[in-house]
Structures are given as structure tokens and as C-alpha cells.
A and B are shown apart, each in its own frame.
Chain A
Amino acid sequence: MSNKKKIVLAEDNSTLSLLLKFRLQKEGYDLFIAANGKEAIELIEEHQPELILSDIMMPYISGLEVISHVRNKLEMKVPIIVFSAAGQEEMVLKAFSLGANDFMGKPFSPNELVIRVKRLLS
């Protein structure tokens, strides 16, 4: 069907995820929004996205577990960018050791995110 690249975005701040969705859609991506880790895993399994954006701290299943699930259970190599709040350096390190490709510390600039997304998807 469409050859748009698919992105799953997992973020519990609904306003932020709407903002990013609009922005990334404008850049020509197909966005799937999850409000928590559990929904994210379901969307990932269903749509096999080309990129995953995930917050680390989320209800139900944390971003770390999403990464772990994607890498170990689903054995997908899809690039993953994680969002973290200030002071979660430890979590970021763990995210990398679990197989995340990049991270953005909150607060971040949506423009910068777009640049990183493009780089990983080119």
C-alpha cells in the first residue's frame, strides 16, 4: 500500500505525543500512538514499524521493558530512540545496554528529534 515509513510513538503525555505526531506526519511518516508500554508493544507487533520512539517512564510497562521485548522477544533490529527526563542518566545507560540506538533528554526540541529520526531512517 503506502510506502510511508511507519513509526510507533509511545509517550504518556498526550499533548506532547499529539505535537510530535503532527510534526512527523508533516515530514511524511505514518504515526501510531501508544499511551503506555503495553499499547506500544501491541502496535509494534501489529505494524512492524521502521522506527520506535519511546518514553522511558510510562505507565503499565516501562520504556526499558519495551526495548527489552523488541530486542529479545521479537528479535527486531528496528532503531529505537528513547526519551528521558533530566537526571535519568542511569536509565539511559540501561536503555542503551538493552539496545536503544539514541536518546533525547526532556525537554527536547521537536526539530532536533526530526533530524535524528531522518538520520536513522535514511
Chain B
Amino acid sequence: MDSSTVRLILLIIHILFFIYAFSVIFSYVFLSFISALESSQYIKRNSFVNYNEILSSTVSPSISIIAPAYNESLNIIENVRSLLSSHYVNYDVIIVNDGSKDDSLEKLIKAYDLVKVNYLINYQVPTKPLRQGVFKSTNPAFEKLIVVDKENGGKADALNCGLNISQSKYVACIDVDCLLLEDSLQKMIKPFLELTDVKVIASGGVIRIANACEIKEGKLININLPSKFIEIAQILEYLRSFLLGRMAWSRLNGLLVISGAFGMFDKKIAIEVGGYNTKTVGEDMEIIVRMRRRMEEENIKYKVAYIPDPLCWTEAPDNYKILISQRNRWTRGTIEVLKIHRKIGFNPKYRLLGMLSYPYWFFYERLAPIIEVIGILYFIVLIALDNVRWDYALAFFLSAYLFTIMFTIIAIFSEELTYHQYTKKGTGFKLLLVTLLEPFVLHPFILYAAIKGNIDYYFNKKIKWGEMTRKGLSKTES
């Protein structure tokens, strides 16, 4: 190759990088704008809603909370108590003990006066067989509780078992260690009941980080900002993702994922599409994509709704090792889901889903870490060749950094203007400080985890689930 061809190739690469960077920024600006619009309307719409009638009505549709539990013995009693304290009337709680090796079941039996019952299961979705069977409480105060003991089959399999057990019209699938506020169910069910011109197939909730919050008896008493950098940085990440990203996508009706930690589904449709996929670690995203796909194929007007209220609180990893394994798993999940459903990508038949959501996810979620690494490598090569105009590089670097900061600050703003959860003095300063440092401190780990996820996906097929060692939500109690 002569030098002019090399130069041409380099020029093309430069232009591609530039287009990519520009489109990322453009899409963020666009999404922030949409999200601001949607947030303000949401708040207005819900400022004078009275939930009392829906709560107490026996005509309100039935909801089952499905919570899979695997070796959760440490907190299971508290967690179940929290799930049982919802203010909705017509609901039950299905705890699926997914072949736990600890004493979860014994603890539950003792704490909630459970006895084995004769329960006829309609196996609409295949799952692993039951182990000890189905249990219910003899105490009328815990009448809403159903505990199923089955052989281990993973989270998706346990959720499917819950789908079979449930007799309700709607199911709320949650992580058992999540803390739900008492008004979660009525807020999540609202879009299903409210919209008359489209079919709502699912609604997703926000996940908030409960680290350092004061929790008693499975109830959130006091919201605190955690002290560790890694925890605060994740709070910012979550704010960006939930208050800016998902809010905007829900407005566009292009939401591709609702968090596995808290989402509500129309049970009939969830079962019709075959329930959760047990072969992927991204089962929460996969089922949404599959349900959406089905709706598109059948030409039904539908919506995946999104509730920005802080209803579901969960413990985030507080050390890098666990964080990396969690993000590694998320990356593999995304890759798998996009691969399973590659048919919809860039396919005009799937309209917005195929032409906007999928491509966005593919380029800016799936490919982003790879492109970033390529960029870094290229930069290193340039340094090695002593071919860097440092003053130009500085300019580009600075603007990219400032953009990142600005979006995070906008996310903090939308939190302050909507829910204002971190009220204590001094937290604003802490959040800002972490905002400035996060791109240098947290981001490299996230990038590393994503790359590792890619490597594991392609070269290390036997990888197991990342174990999340839990310190326990109710640590204030002990």
C-alpha cells in the first residue's frame, strides 16, 4: 500500500469515529430533551390522582408478585414481610424457592406458619419440577403468601414457575431482595388500566439504590446517600439511565428493557410468548423484546409503560469485584438478546422497534465499549508513532468530558425537580464531586467489565452466574 491509500483509510476511520461521537452526543441531547418533556407531564398528570378507590376495590384486577429466591436465607423473612405489606387489596405474593441449598424454606415455614397445600398447577410454561411442593400460611394475616419449593433451574425458570402458579391477570416480577414501597402495585398497574387506545403489555419501574438507607422490618425509613465512591457513582449511573434514558424511550414507546428487579406484565401475553427464556442471562430484556416482537407481528397497537416514581430499592454492589461480575453478566445478556432477535434489527416491518430501538441498543450499548477500546488502542498507536497533536487531543478530550458531566448534572436536576430524594445538606456537593470524578474512576471498571463480558461471551461459554454476596438490606437491624 502506498502512503496515499493509508491516508485515505485513516481519513475514513477518522470520519467514522467522528460521526459516531457526534451521533452519540446528538442522541443524548435528544433523549434528555424528550425525557424532560415526559417527566414534567408525568408529574402534572399524577399530582392529584387519588389511588384510594383503586386500592380498596375488589373489582381491581388481581396481581401476583413473583419473587424467585436462591439461597436468600439471610434476609428472606424481612423481604417477604416487605412484599406482604403492599397497600393494594387484590394481590398475592409467590415466593419461588429455586432449589436453595440453605434453610430458606424452613425459615419461611416457621416465620409464616406455612403448611403444604394441594395446589393444581397449570403447566403453561415448562419448568423444573417441584421439590417439596406448594405452601400457604395458616395465619389469616399472611393469607396472601404462597411459597413454592422447586428444583434449581435459574432465575428465568423460577419466574416461569411463578407464572404457572399465578391465578392473577397481572404479574409483578421482582428480585426478592428488593424493597417495594407500599404504593408500588397501584402505581405500576395504572398504565394497564388507564390507556384505552393501546394495549399495555408491560410496565417497568425505576430501581433506586438502597445502600446506606435506613431499613427496618422491610420498610424504608430514611433515605441516605452512601459514603463510598463506588456506591454514589452507581447512583449517578442509575439516575442517568432511569430518569433520562428510559423516561425518554418510554415517551417514544421504544423501551427495550424493563429492569428484572421490578416489572409488571400482562400475564396472558407473557405466557403466550412462552414465558422467560432460560437460555440467556438477559432474560429480563429478552422477554420484553419477544413480547414487543409478537405485538408488532400481530399488528396490535401496544405500549411498554414506564413509571419513574422511586418504588423499588435494591442493594448495589459496594466493591469492584462484584460490580464487574454484575456488569459482565449484563453485557453478555445484551449481546445474547440482540443476537436472538437480530431479525428485527433494521427491519422496517418492525417499525420503531426495528428501526430505532434495536439500532440504538446495538450501536450505543452493544458496540460502545468495543468502539471505545478501539479508540484507545488507536490513540496509543498514535502516541507510539509520536503522531499526536496534543493540543487538538486536549480540545476533543475536554469537550467529551464536559458533555459527560453535563448530562450527569442534568440527570441530578431531573431528580431534584421530580422526586428530590436526597434531601440532606451536603449531599448535593458530594454528588457533584463524584460527577466530576466518575468518568475517571468508575468508568474504566465498567468498560473493563463490558470488554470482559464480550470475551467471556465469545471465548468462555461455560461461564456461570456472577454470585452477588449480599450484605443484607436489614443491616440496620443487626
Contact = CB atoms under 8 A, between A and B. Distances in A.
A60 B216 contact: yes
B89 interface: yes
Interface string A57-84: 1011110110010000000000000000
Contacts of A88: 56, 89
B140 interface: yes
Contacts of A94: 140-141, 143
A59 B219 contact: yes
Contacts of B55: 57, 85
Contacts, number: 41
A85 B51 CA distance: 12
A88 B141 CA distance: 14
A61 B87 contact: no
A45 to B, nearest CB: 15
A87 B140 CA distance: 18
Contacts of A62: 85, 141
Interface string A21-39: 0000000000000000010
B114 to A, nearest CB: 16
Given A38-B217, A60-B219, A85-B56, A90 B89 contact: yes
B292 to A, nearest CB: 35
A98 B53 CA distance: 25
A97 interface: yes
B139 A90 contact: no
A98 B58 CA distance: 21
Interface residues of B, number: 17
Contacts of A98: 140-141
Contacts of B139: 68
B423 to A, nearest CB: 19
Given A60-B216, A60-B219, A87-B58, A65 B141 contact: yes
A68 B138 CA distance: 13
A85 B89 CA distance: 11
B56 A60 contact: no
Given A59-B182, A60-B216, A61-B217, A87 B89 contact: yes
Given A57-B87, A98-B140, A98-B141, A86 B56 contact: yes
A85 B52 CA distance: 8
Contacts of B216: 38, 60
A67 B217 CA distance: 17
Among A60, A62, A85, A97, the most chain B Cβ lie within 10 Å of the Cβ of A60
A20 to B, nearest CB: 19
Contacts of A65: 141
A38 B52 CA distance: 23
A89 B56 CA distance: 9
Nearest to B56: A87
A57 B87 CA distance: 7
A59 B53 CA distance: 18
B57 interface: yes
A60 B214 CA distance: 13
Interface string B202-231: 000000000000001101000000000000
A60 to B, nearest CB: 5
Contacts of B52: 85
A94 B53 CA distance: 20
A68 B139 CA distance: 9
Nearest to B182: A59
A64 B141 contact: yes
Contacts of B58: 87, 89-90
Interface string B134-153: 00000111010000000000
The 5 closest A-B pairs by CB, nearest first: A87-B56, A60-B219, A68-B141, A64-B141, A94-B140
Interface of B: 52-53, 55-58, 85, 87, 89, 139-141, 143, 182, 216-217, 219
Interface of A: 38, 57, 59-62, 64-65, 68, 85-91, 94, 97-98
Given A87-B53, A91-B89, 12 more contacts: A57-B87, A60-B216, A62-B85, A64-B140, A65-B141, A68-B141, A85-B56, A87-B89, A90-B58, A90-B89, A98-B140, A98-B141
16 contacts: A38-B217, A57-B55, A59-B85, A59-B219, A60-B216, A60-B217, A61-B85, A61-B217, A62-B85, A62-B141, A85-B52, A86-B56, A87-B58, A88-B89, A89-B58, A91-B89
